[in-house]
Amino acid sequence: MKKGDRVLFNDGSVKYGTVIRKKGKTLEVNIDGNYDSFISGPINLFKPSDKPVHKDPYTVMDNYSIKAWQEIEGHGDSRTFLANIYCGGRKIIRVSNDGRGGDNEYEEFVRGTREQLLKDLKEWATRFGAGDLPKYLLPGLWVEWNHFFKDLGKPAKQELSEWKELFCDKAGKA
C-alpha cells in the first residue's frame, strides 16, 4: 500500500480512509470524515478498499490545480511553502508563504490571472454557501483545502463552513 490508496480497517466497526504516509511496515491513514487527524498502525491491520473518496460536484475551481508544492525552511511554527497554481494545464501563479505571519504571496506568471482566480473563488464559495466570506481569505483557504484536504475527500462545503464560523458573525456577516 502507498500514499493515496484507499483502505479499510475494523476496530469493532468498519472504517474507511486514505493512506497519507507509509513508514516501513506502518501506515498513517486519514479516516473519512475526520480530516484533521490520522491513525497509525501495522500494515496488516488495513485492507485495500475500492470505496471511493468523496468528490464534490464540478465547479469552476476544478479547472485549477496546485503543482510543485515544496515545503521550505521558514520562520517560526508557520507552514512555509512554495507552489504553482495552474489553470487549464497552464502555470499562472506562484504562491508562497515565508512563515513570518500574514497571508500567502501570489506572483502572476500570466497578467490578470489573480483577478480571474478571485472571481472564480467567489463563485466557488457562493456555490457552497459561503459567498459572504471576505474575498481576501478565499485564495489562502482554497490553497490549503486543495493541497491538504480535497484528495482526502473533505467536502468544500465543510471547509468553507468551518472558515465561516471563524470569520462571520451569527448573522453571517464578515
Question: pLDDT of 51-63, one tens digit each?
Answer: 999 999 999 999 9
| Same domain, residue pair 101 and 39 | no
| pLDDT for the residue numbered 7 | 96
**pTM listed for this prediction:** 0.85
Q: Write out the residue range of the structural domain in which residue 34 sits.
A: 6-48
If asked whether residues 93 and 116 sit together in one domain, one would say: yes
- Tens of pLDDT, residue by residue over 62-83, are 999 999 999 987 666 677 899 9
Domains in the chain: how many in total? 2
102 and 39 in one domain? no
Predicted pLDDT of residue 25: 94
Closest CA to 95 of 111, 86, 82, 79: 82
Q: Chain-wide mean pLDDT for the chain?
A: 91
- For residue 99, give the amino acid letter: G
Q: Would you place residue 170 in the very low, low, confident or very high pLDDT band (cuts 50, 70, 90)?
A: low
C-alpha cell at 87: 489553470
- Residue 44 belongs to a domain with what CATH number? 2.30.30
Asked if residue 106 is part of any domain, the answer here is yes
Which residues are CB-neighbours of 100 under 8 A, at least 6 positions away? Answer: 74, 75, 76, 78
Q: What is the pLDDT of residue 100?
A: 80
The reply to whether 66 and 109 lie within a common domain is yes
CA distance 105 to 23: 33
Q: According to the model, what pLDDT value does residue 173 have? A: 59
Residues in a beta bridge with 91: 86
Statement to judge: residues 73 and 114 lie in one domain = yes
Local confidence band at 23 (pLDDT 50, 70, 90 cut-offs):
very high
Whether 128 and 66 map to the same domain: the answer is yes
Same domain, 71 and 123: yes
Considering the domain boundaries, does residue 10 fall inside one?
Answer: yes
105 plus 69 within the same structural domain: yes
Q: Are residues 43 and 101 in the same domain?
A: no
Question: Model confidence over 115-127: pLDDT tens digits?
Answer: 999 999 999 999 9
The answer, yes or no, to whether residue 171 has pLDDT greater than 60, is no
Query: Residue 174: which pLDDT band, with cuts at 50, 70 and 90?
Result: low
How many CB atoms lie under 10 A from the CB of residue 90?
10
Domain contains 108: yes
Going by pLDDT thresholds of 50, 70 and 90, the confidence category of residue 169 is low
- Is the domain of 108 the same as that of 68? yes
What was the pLDDT predicted at 48? Answer: 97
27 with 67, same domain? no
Same-domain check for residues 64 and 140: yes
Question: Is residue 81 one of the residues assigned to a domain?
Answer: yes
